[in-house]
Structure 1
Amino acid sequence: MSFDYDLFVIGGGSGGVRAARLAAAEAGARVGLAEEYRMGGTCVIRGCVPKKLMVFASGYSGAFEDARAYGWGVQAGGFDWDIFKGKLEAELTRLEGIYTANLKKAGVEIHAARATLSDAHRVKLSTGEEFTAKHILVATGGRPFVPEFPGHELAITSNEMFKLDQLPKRLLIVGGGFIACEFACIMNGLGVEVTQFYRGAQVLRGFDDEARGHVADLMRDRGVNLHVGTDVISMEKTAEGIAVKSSTGHDASYDAVMYATGRVPNSDGLGLEEAGVRLGRRGEVIVDAYSQTSVPSIYAVGDVTDRINLTPVAIREGAAFVETVFHGRPTSPDHELVASAVFTQPELGAVGLTEEQAREREPIEVYSAAFRPMQTLFAGRDDRVLMKLIVSQATRKVLGCHIVADHAGELIQLAAVAIKMGATKEDFDRTVAVHPTMAEELVTMKSPTRTA
């Protein structure tokens, strides 16, 4: 059978773009790609990139205070949201143009339309066009989820946070994951009065308990009004704003309410089940170790598969798909020891097992140090850094590393290389410290804090 394309990709996010570009440029495949919104997907347009730029912007309020403590005669004016938002949109447009240009340079044919599956080898576009493809790759990502309750339609999500007409004076953020905590810190740093509700016992579920408690304490210290064990019962529009009734009596009115209570795969209405593709309970596309679905010609990568929902993971999955399908080298994406960073203030970086996970598997040693770093100590701030290593008693391998500190995302990237290579605690000990730095604590902790 003759096909219009060797590969048709549905979705122009990080995973789909990487797969399309590599298949076309390196394997010489005829590739088509459909994106219904903007090229770059969640990460570039409404996720990692704009969020990190907002993190940078929000950090200057504290930096001005520190500068005065260091002797600089600086005077900060108010934050101008309109100026920042205009520059942010220009930067996203620039990046979107780069993504589009790189795809075209590789020979990918781009369709600015929504694509759905007609069958195992056929896609239909919202323009009415239909194409056949030997292989189809679903890379449609995920979207924020807002549960249904009285007044839920008044909530906004992270998608809308980048396009606010003006900053709210009073903001409620509902959720305890990394998106909720990051935006709580961002908006607090921009001068917004932030309250955060989380129905669980502690924020940042899935991260190391000691580290997540450390972050929560520092968020409160910096002004975030964080309430755990608290949920929203109802919301109502009033003359004062949005009146929120909570499960614990923390009732108040806010100018805006942002929900960050999870994300779900973007698999609805794509014709996947009709084409025979098996979906999971949450709508995730079920794939094997090589990202192949229950239909041999259809593959899926990225957040729509709900494996590890991180941009670099989606990119690796897209590259592995091309190796497998177009180069004949079966390659399974490596999901072991994937480092991550939460861009709170200060940041949380993590790789490997938490203390709780590790002690369920084997006897461990825990090395942990909390201290006030030189820079902020001199400025009179009460910030505390946390450095933590989880070590196997049997093999001496470092099983996990957890850092709470400014620039923890940068630090954990380097620690992840050593841990991925199987470094032992003695390897860390043999490494000479760089002084004076925060990170030197990782190689100077000689005695375990506790064993388990």
Structure 2
Amino acid sequence: MSAANKSVIVVGGGPGGYEAALGAAQLGAEVTVVERAGLGGAAVLTDCVPSKALIATADFMDRFSAAKRIGVHFDGANVPGDQGVTAHISDVNQRIMALAQAQSRDIAERLESAGVDVVQGAGRLLGPSTVEVVEGVDVPASGEEPAPHGSDQDTATATRQIEADVVIVATGTRPRVMDTAMPDGERILTWQHIWGLRELPEHLVVVGSGVTGAELAHAYLGLGCRVTLISSRDRVLPGEDGDAANVVEEVFRRRGMAVLNRSRMAAVRREGDGVVVTLEDGREVEGSHCLLAVGSIPNTGEMGLEEAGVTLSRSGHIQVDRVSRTSVQGVYAAGDCTGVLPLASVAAMQGRIAVAHALGDAVAPLALGRVSSNIFTDPEIATVGATQADIDSGRVDARAVMLPLSKNPRAKMQNVQDGFVKIFAKKGSSTIVGGVVVGPRASELIFPIALAVANRLNVDQFSATFTVYPSLSGSLSEAARQLHAFSD
């Protein structure tokens, strides 16, 4: 049976789901997408797109505070605030939500143009090739688990069963909450609640110093909030390159953020018009609002997965191999619900790989060693390939060169004071196996290193490529030239 005669049903319309649907439609399959809350999923509607838009707003405001350092003055300007500008968070959030909805509509138009049937509702597996779809269900409140079928929250207009040759589950995750720190959507918040804020928090206490916590702490600090960041580990961003995390933490502190390391949250409670965060050692931190960024859990409950034979991990994530297959033939999974790597780019790649494998197209297994990622703090942290931890532990036999951006001429012109570039190259062959960039637009600067890693370029091939002078990318080339001296 050719791909043109096959049917595919995708449960979940986030990056993993809609990219899988587009890929399947391109191969000629009959495709249905079942999405409960809105196309684009959390990545577009409440997480990645909104948070990066919020960060962009904060970074825009920071330009005004930096103006005097480069000789620019707003003479005669009648504007309040130390920065010369103030953030009206209701207007900011209104713009961000409009942007997210516009992106969701763009995805819907792409799917419609590709001939994909989109059903608004909840999907549940009845077997390896059968999905029960409850249409017209209410979208749950932010941070809540989708209600099981037949619950009071369901206002279904129709229930039907769809048979398909291939089922792809891409239902994503939701914020993790704790019994001792239950969000109320007003003062105790998850990252899904913050888009309803109508006033800027006077003092935001952020619990959790991973990627989400660090990014949003940076954003609200830049918007003019007093921010306290509570980290249970020795430093912020404990899973990232140590040199990079230290730079970001130093910048946070220099800009006025209170960072409490080795401080684990025990509970959060409302008290009057504020909140009190209790730490495990008995200390209490008072604030106007608390933002919980303590991880996420997969949306895999009440979906009939285990009943259909799909193996889940202890955390509830769907176990998949490198071509997105689950333990059941014909059932695939993609995105954050698999727990492979919580990045929209990885989810999209998993979705594309799933349909290619299922429909018999050429496919290469997922290669996580080539994934580039970015943390949108200021400065940004971008990474790809092997890490400093890999080298320090002996897992990768490589050398590293790190150059501070403060020595780069373009960085001096742009008043860039913090950041560096770091490149890792294998001993002997000098093949580039990874790198780290910390600085403005690191998300763009990492791309040349990612190309080198993907194509196994050595440091001489990399540095032989012309760079613009002056440019920040010149430091990448210089780091590669310095690694040439270490060639065995």
The letter of the residue matching 1:132 is E
Contact 2:434–2:449 (CA under 8 A) maintained in structure 1: no
C-alpha change, 1:245 and 1:374, in structure 2 (3 Å) is farther
Which aligned pairs between 1:291-330 and structure 2 lie closer than 5 A?
291-330=324-363
The letter of the residue matching 1:136 is V
C-alpha change, 1:284 and 1:438, in structure 2 (3 Å) is same
Q: Identify which range, 146-155 or 15-24, moves more after superposition.
A: 146-155
Query: How many aligned positions are there?
Result: 447
Post-superposition offset of 1:371: 4.3
Which SS does the other structure have where 2:66 is aligned?
helix
Post-superposition offset of 1:433: 4.4
Partner Cα separation in structure 1 for residue 482 and residue 106 of structure 2: 50
Q: Identify which range, 121-130 or 187-196, moves more after superposition.
A: 121-130
Q: Counterpart in 2 of 1:418?
A: 452
Partner Cα separation in structure 2 for residue 5 and residue 88 of structure 1: 39
Which aligned pairs between 1:213-292 and structure 2 lie closer than 5 A?
213-248=246-281, 250-292=283-325
Task: Say which of 345, 356, 362 aligns to 2:378.
Answer: 345
C-alpha change, 1:249 and 1:429, in structure 2 (3 Å) is farther
Q: Counterpart in 1 of 2:163?
A: 132
Post-superposition offset of 1:426: 2.5
Tell me the TM-score normalized by structure 2: 0.86
Post-superposition offset of 1:419: 2.2
Partner Cα separation in structure 1 for residue 9 and residue 474 of structure 2: 49
Partner Cα separation in structure 2 for residue 11 and residue 362 of structure 1: 37
Post-superposition offset of 1:343: 0.2
Contact 1:13–1:40 (CA under 8 A) maintained in structure 2: yes
Partner Cα separation in structure 2 for residue 351 and residue 412 of structure 1: 7
C-alpha change, 1:22 and 1:371, in structure 2 (3 Å) is closer
Considering only aligned residues, what root-mean-square deviation do their CA atoms show, in Å? 2.5
The letter of the residue matching 1:147 is M
Contact 2:369–2:386 (CA under 8 A) maintained in structure 1: no
Post-superposition offset of 1:34: 0.8
Partner Cα separation in structure 1 for residue 68 and residue 416 of structure 2: 16
C-alpha change, 1:79 and 1:162, in structure 2 (3 Å) is same
The letter of the residue matching 1:40 is G
Which SS does the other structure have where 1:114 is aligned?
strand
Contact 1:5–1:132 (CA under 8 A) maintained in structure 2: no
Contact 1:144–1:157 (CA under 8 A) maintained in structure 2: yes
The letter of the residue matching 1:108 is V
Partner Cα separation in structure 2 for residue 125 and residue 114 of structure 1: 6
Partner Cα separation in structure 2 for residue 207 and residue 200 of structure 1: 12
**Divergent runs of 4+, >4 A:** 150-154, 373-379, 446-451
Any gaps of 5 or more consecutive residues in structure 1?
Answer: none
Post-superposition offset of 1:377: 5.3
Q: Counterpart in 1 of 2:203?
A: 170
- Does 2:400 align with 1:366? yes
Q: Counterpart in 1 of 2:37?
A: 37
Which SS does the other structure have where 2:238 is aligned?
coil
Partner Cα separation in structure 1 for residue 132 and residue 182 of structure 2: 36
Partner Cα separation in structure 2 for residue 190 and residue 28 of structure 1: 48
Contact 1:398–1:424 (CA under 8 A) maintained in structure 2: yes
Partner Cα separation in structure 2 for residue 348 and residue 250 of structure 1: 32
Which aligned pairs between 1:150-189 and structure 2 lie closer than 5 A?
155-189=188-222
The letter of the residue matching 1:260 is A
Post-superposition offset of 1:277: 0.6
Post-superposition offset of 1:333: 2.8
